[in-house]
């Protein structure tokens, strides 16, 4: 069994048995994939470790792609390893980060993964915690209700894929003959961004890239998160938030 869900942001209530009773028949060979904004590796603190231990003791394996709300400095400390045809980082033995630009073979189906996304609520800027007037600026921004983030505290440039990751993705899709069973991302391709926002959300290099993939690749379903809603577009594009849906 493979299920998928949307952004968890470090809160995993939805996986409690009361909300997800299907887990009664699942084993560690079954998966629940979080479509980005996992948020479970955020401050490295005691509570966070407890939450990760709680995920580890669930009857199934938790997989996630990155979103934009991840602590990419902390994530980078985990070594990468090969797993089911692609590269992963193991946060716990059964809590696994599916890296970008990979194709995994899971239960006889192929999954292309491309995490990342552009933060929307940062139009007033990114503050550097190392600048001399950081506190002055920070308190002023807070006082006027500015929409901003702090570099390496609440925003990381790695929220967007690097040029190397785009190249790798092209390469792996080329090797797969531009055909996979499922696509797992955090962000959506341009066409879907238009549909879900009525033209209100802009494009960025990642949504452009995903649009290219959308036009070239053959796939059954494309599952993504980021936009905090549960909706299906054109039968095969599945936007997930707190719902957990069966994929396989």
What residue ranges bind Fe ion (CB under 5 A)? Answer: 7, 37
> Least CB distance from residue 21 to Fe ion, whole Å?
25
36/86 with CB nearer Fe ion: 36
Please tell me the chain's helix, strand, coil percentages from 3-state DSSP, rounded to the nearest 5: 30, 25, 45
26/41 with CB nearer Fe ion: 41
Instruction: Give 145-181 as a 3 state SS string.
Output: CCCEEEECCCECHHHCCCHHHHHHHHHHHHHCCCECC
> Least CB distance from residue 205 to Fe ion, whole Å?
19
Residue 216 to residues 34, 77, 102, 113, 188: CA-CA distances in angstroms?
Answer: 25, 34, 17, 16, 15
Question: By C-alpha distance, which of 84, 78, 75, 92 is closest to 37?
Answer: 75
- The C-alpha atoms of residue 103 and residue 100 are separated, in whole angstroms, by 9
> Least CB distance from residue 7 to Fe ion, whole Å?
4
First vs last C-alpha separation in the chain: 6
Q: Tell me, what DSSP letter sits at residue 113?
A: E
> Least CB distance from residue 225 to Fe ion, whole Å?
6
53/229 with CB nearer Fe ion: 229
37/70 with CB nearer Fe ion: 37
> Least CB distance from residue 26 to Fe ion, whole Å?
25
106/188 with CB nearer Fe ion: 188
């Amino acid at each position: 069994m493979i299920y998928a869900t949307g952004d968890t942001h470090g809160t995993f209530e939805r996986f409690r048995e009361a909300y997800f009773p299907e887990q009664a028949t699942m084993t560690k060979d079954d998966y629940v994939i979080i479509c980005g904004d996992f948020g479970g590796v955020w401050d490295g603190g005691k509570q966070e470790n407890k939450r990760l231990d709680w995920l580890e003791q669930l009857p199934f394996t938790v997989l996630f792609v990155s979103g934009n709300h991840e602590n990419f400095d902390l994530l980078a400390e985990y070594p990468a390893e090969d797993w089911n045809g692609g590269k992963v980082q193991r946060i716990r033995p059964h809590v696994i980060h599916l890296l970008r630009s990979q194709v995994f073979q899971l239960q006889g189906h192929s999954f292309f993964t491309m995490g990342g996304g552009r933060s929307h609520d940062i139009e007033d800027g990114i503050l550097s915690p190392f600048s001399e007037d950081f506190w002055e600026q920070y308190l002023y921004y807070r006082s006027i209700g500015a929409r901003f983030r702090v570099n390496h505290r609440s925003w990381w440039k790695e929220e967007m894929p690097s040029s190397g990751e785009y190249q790798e993705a092209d390469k792996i899709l080329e090797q797969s003959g531009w055909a996979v069973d499922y696509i797992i991302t955090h962000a959506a391709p341009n066409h879907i961004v238009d549909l879900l926002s009525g033209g209100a959300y802009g494009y960025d290099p990642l949504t452009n890239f995903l649009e290219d993939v959308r036009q070239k690749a053959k796939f059954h379903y494309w599952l993504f998160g980021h936009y905090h809603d549960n909706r299906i577009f054109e039968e095969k594009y599945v936007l997930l938030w707190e719902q957990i849906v069966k994929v396989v």
